[in-house]
Amino acid sequence: MDRPRVFVTRSDAPDSAIELLRTKCDVTILQGDTSTSEEVLQALPGHDAVLIVGHLNVNSEFLNTAGPNLKVVSTLSAGYDHLDVPEIKRRGIKVGHTPNVLSAAVAEIAILLTLSAARRSHEGRLKIDEGKVLKSYNWLLGQELRNSTVGIVGLGNIGQAILKRLLSFEVNTFLYTGHSEKKAGKDLGAKFVSLDELLAQSDFVIAVTPLTNETRGLFNDTTFGKMKRTAVFVNVGRGQVVDTDALVRALKNHTIFAAGLDVTDPEPLPVDHELLKLPNIVLLPHLGSATVKTRNDMGIVAAQNILNGLSGKPLVYEL
């Protein structure tokens, strides 16, 4: 009996995923780690499953090109705004992603950005480079987590992982907001509040929201205007939940104290972008899940989604 055919959209997929898939499937890998959508579509037809590496759009054109053999789509990511999930499922195709296994790594990045932005690490490095290090007692004073109020916008798995790690910093109050109050929030000692209340009370605002029609542009001139002037804003969710121009204005005008971003809009930022010129921001090039262990774990989950789907079993994480 012929083995199922699995298509991998880029050659930088984790070895853990490829090795697992090859135990039961014939695997075709598109060479290169920056493959274009045109290259993917050309190689796509006739496969039974697809492992999506990177934020490749899976839409009607993709599905039409794949043809009737396609049974499973699995993306190497927790986020899925690049997938037209309703259309995929309408066609009877199973679709999976890789949440949970990356929560710890993304939470670590959130803590890194929170501390770095609060303690003005980028600005301090600029002063070293410029030879302008001062001896003043009040030079480059920052904010601290001790006795602060931390507001988390989106208390999912990653948000909960961030909160757990912040407990050791002697934070005074944890707030969170979302569609509804969560048992996990209560168990962790966090208070469920409206977005406006969270913005007004928080010394640190950490965004961990997925990109949806509701969250797109959620952080804008109005939102930043409701924050404390001493507030630190951190985003480890999706870049497009922030109006970038509004964030630039908030930082330049000192509407907020500082920001730390692992995700941006656009992504990556052009080398001459205004955000790169500001001293009170810490920027990372979307490194949230970028650890050896986490990427390997994501590969195993993504591959197991495919194997389960092809054998008629429930996916590990199905959308």
Query: CA nearest 98: which of 302, 236, 309, 303?
Result: 302
Question: Count H helices, E strands: the chain?
Answer: 12, 12
The H-or-E segment that residue 115 falls in is: helix 103-118
The answer to whether residues 282 and 260 touch, using CB atoms and an 8 Å cutoff, is yes
The residues annotated with a catalytic role in the active site are: 286
Q: Residues with Cβ < 8 Å from 41, sequence gap 6 or more? A: 61, 62, 65
Query: CA nearest 101: which of 277, 279, 303?
Result: 303
DSSP 47-81: -SEEEE-SS--BSHHHHHHH-TT--EEEESSS--T
Which residues on neighbouring strands pair with residue 207, listed in sequence order? 153, 235
Which residues on neighbouring strands pair with residue 30, listed in sequence order? none
Which position has the token pair 């195993």? Answer: 300
